[in-house]
Structure 1
Amino acid sequence: MKRIITLDIFDEKGASLGKKRFYTTLDKHKSLNQWWVNFKDSVNEMLGLISNYPSDFQNQQKVCLLSKPLARYCLNITQSNLIPFSVYFSVRHCIKATWINDRDQFLYPNNKWAQDSVFQSDCLAFMLFHGQHRITSKVGINHFIPFSEKEIGAQEAFESHFMQDFLQGKIKHDCATNKDSKQSLFGDDDIAFIPTKPLTFSQEAQEVLNAGKELFRHYHTQAKEDKDYNPNASLYDIKAHFQGFNDKGKMNPPQKADDEVYKQKLGELNYALKALAKKIEVKVYEYGFLLP
């Protein structure tokens, strides 16, 4: 029997912040990280890595995309698990961590998420442009550019067109068996989440893609004559170009950028991301990733 304890919440001045629920049988639920490992793939080509830490809000900022394993716990992102890992990333980042939800646990979802293709596409769009996306072409090939060279005015051909092809349903998949995969719950093999037709996005996700395109286009317009111009620049690389780094090697905040147009376009992207986060948040509760 599920038991719920509901308490009133107040801030330091005594103003009401609503109510908070606690579930006494939460330990009987499987965690999100037990779901996450279902999609482990050591067969297909690695596109990047996703870090993993205990599935609660206090570890939220440790979950990121990487080009090389900088974290203790990482799994390879491949064409077969890109969608589930996008869902994992977005579920963990679409709701801001606060002192109220700090210890809330992310859970093993019900199966409804696997039939919601728009939710999956929205999570991919969210992950592609989130601040914890730290893929960089400085380390290896950047497979995460969702646009064509023409769309963003790149001066040279990209080293990889994977993401464009994935979004258009043009990935040619083989039938290699992934012995590490446990995806039989959702499909018979590791091609269950490789689209065979163009992805469909919500209006909110399309706004993110459009804002991201404008940001990429501004970089290629502004930096094409620079000696360090990088046609394969990732989102992280573009931010580094405009914001620079401090003497401790940490990227400066956007306010440090000299380019006002860049700051405007980044602001527009972040605004669109917040709207998309709200849309994804509804599904997080509907599909059981969090208890309400």
Structure 2
Amino acid sequence: MKKSIALDIFDENGASLGKKRFYTTLDGKESINKWLKTFKPTADSTLGILMADSPDFQNNNHIGILSKHTKGHWIFKNITPNVLIPFSAYFSVRHCIKATWINDRDQFLSPNKKWEKDTEFHSDCLIFMLFHGQNRITCKEGINHFIPFSEKEIDAAEAFESHFMQDFLQGKIKQDSKSTDSKSLFKDELDFIPTKPLIFSDEAKEVLQAGKEIFKHYHTQAKDSKDYNPNAALYDIKAHFQGFNDKGKMNPPQKAQDEAYKERLGTLNYALKNLAKKIEIKVYEYGFLLK
């Protein structure tokens, strides 16, 4: 029996879209969700929640980062420091490639071991996850541990409630035993926790810079507004500028009145697309998807 078959793909006008390979067997490869279950969050304070779903493209819109559990049949995993990197990889692998009618049934798989040593891939995925639209962390539902900048960098009016992400990016987790954050969130035996500052790819640096400009714009423009919060997450910043409709759904960026914000958000989204393309290469190299 053939293990795969390649077919020609055409659009509605008969124009060729290349070839698409379909697999009749995955040769015993495990699902990415089974791989996800191998990572065990510790009993430390939870940083957030990873929401997961069936391992195919058509369910990628259910993959997100939340502050709290929600009601539903989805998979919910507590994010603690030891699983932040693999959970970021899961999130980024699921979101870096756009779902289409061609790939909507493709299955995400358990990767080979090569991803474990690729620290640049780790950093790329972490930054992609921090600034992606499906990251719904909000300071209105608890402490926001996901601010990757210092107060000075973004002109925040007050000190943040958590400096976790700054410490994580700087590799200060295990060394900084005097930090209140460290006492509650870190232990020496945790895996995938950097012991020195992360090194970022050029694509990740562009996302970080674009994200910084949005945070800085918020802290500059919103300090005197009634909904200003120095601990605002990216989701909160988008909500501030874009607002919500009468059904409680956030308005699209086009509805924002602040042109500078829209320009900065456009720059961030462009940088995220470039980072996604870089991560996509590793998705196939490490076997998260079959070509």
Contact 1:173 1:191 in 2 (8 A): no
Partner letter of residue 243 of structure 2? G
State the one-letter code of the partner of 2:45: E
Task: Name the amino acid aligned to 1:285.
Answer: Y
Deviations 1:205-234 (A, max 9, x none): 000000000000000000011122100000
How far off is 1:33 after superposition? 0.2
Cα separation, 1, equivalents of 2:174 and 2:223: 32
2:271 is paired with a residue of what secondary structure?
Answer: helix
Give the distance between the partners of 2:175 and 2:62, measured in 1 at CA.
Answer: 31
Cα displacement (A) at 1:190: 5.2
Aligned residue in 2 for 1:125: 127
Residue 143 in 1 paired to residue 133 in 2? no
Q: State the Cα distance separating 1:173 from its structure 2 match.
A: 7.9
Structure-1 separation of matches of 2:286 and 2:227: 45
Gaps of 5+ in 2: 177-187
Q: 1:104 — aligned with what? A: 106
Tell me by how many angstroms 1:131 deviates. 0.3
Are positions 1:75 and 2:77 aligned together? yes
2:37 alignment counterpart: 37
CA distance in structure 2 between the aligned counterparts of 1:258 and 1:6, rounded to whole angstroms: 49
> Secondary structure of 1:54's partner?
coil
Q: Distance between the aligned counterparts of 1:199 and 1:56, measured in 2?
A: 31
In structure 2, the residue matched to 1:20 is: 20
Q: How many residues align?
A: 278
Q: Distance in 2 between matches of 1:287 and 1:59?
A: 21
What are the Cα deviations for residues 52-81 of structure 1, in whole angstroms up to 9, with x where unaligned?
100100000100000111143200001000
* SS of aligned partner of 1:195: coil
1:21-41 per-position Cα deviation (integer Å, ceiling 9, x unaligned)? 011112722000000011131
Distance 1:86 1:45 in 2: 18
Name segments (4+ residues, structure 1) moved above 4 Å. none
> Does the C-alpha gap of structure 1 residues 104 and 227 become closer, same or farther in structure 2, counting only changes over 3 Å?
same
In the aligned structure 2, how far is the partner of 1:193 from the partner of 1:29?
24
- Cα separation, 1, equivalents of 2:50 and 2:175: 22
Amino acid in structure 2 at the alignment position of 1:89: F
8 Å CA contact 2:49, 2:65 repeated in 1:
yes
Corresponding position of 1:257: 256
Task: Give the 5 Å matches for 1:62-211.
Answer: 62-70=62-70, 71-72=72-73, 73-172=75-174, 191-211=190-210
TM-score, length basis structure 2: 0.93
Asked whether the 8 Å contact 1:51–1:65 carries over to 2, the reply is: yes
Q: Give, in whole Å, the separation in 2 of the partners of 1:18 and 1:228.
A: 50
What letter is aligned with 2:238?
K
Which residue is 1:236 aligned to?
235
Percent sequence identity over matched residues? 73
User: Normalising by the residue count of structure 1, what TM-score does the alignment of the two structures yield?
Assistant: 0.93
| In 2: Cα distance, 1:31 partner to 1:108 partner | 5
Q: Unmatched 5+ residue regions in structure 1?
A: 175-188
Cα RMSD of the aligned pairs, angstroms, is: 1.5
Secondary structure at 1:160 match in 2: coil
Shift of 1:192: 2.1
Checking the alignment, whether the CA contact within 8 Å between 1:56 and 1:102 is kept in structure 2 is yes
